[in-house]
A and B are shown apart, each in its own frame.
Chain A
Amino acid sequence: MWVELAIKLGVSALVLGGVLNFAGMQTWLERKQSALMQDRIGANRAYFTVPWWLGGAPVNWLLRKLGGLGILNAIADVLKLLTKEDFIPAAGDRFLHTLAPLLSVFFAVMAFTAVPIGPPVEWLNRTIPLQVSNINAGLLFILALASIGTYGVILAGMTSGNNLATIGGLRAASQMLAYEIALGVSLIGAIICYGTLDLGLIVERQGALLWGWLPAWGVFFQPLACVIFMTAALAETKRIPFDLPEGEPEIIGYFTEYSGMKFGLFFLTDFVEVVLVSALTTTLFFGGWQVPYLLPDGFHFPWAEAVIPLPHLAYVGLGVLSFTVKVVGFIWFFMLIRWTLPRFRYDQLMHLGWKILFPLSLANIVVTGVLVVAAR
Chain B
Amino acid sequence: MSGRFSIGTLGKRAVAFIIAGLGAVLAVLISFASALYEASQPKDLLQVAAGQPVDTGRWTVVVRRADFGKSVKGAPASQQDRLAVELDLTNRSAATSPGYTRILELESPPAGLQRPTFYLARDSAIAAGLHPDMPERVIAVWTWPPGAPPPQKLRFKVASQIYKKRDNLYGAPGWFPGPTAATLDLMVGGPDPAAGAK
Q: Do A and B come from one complex?
A: no
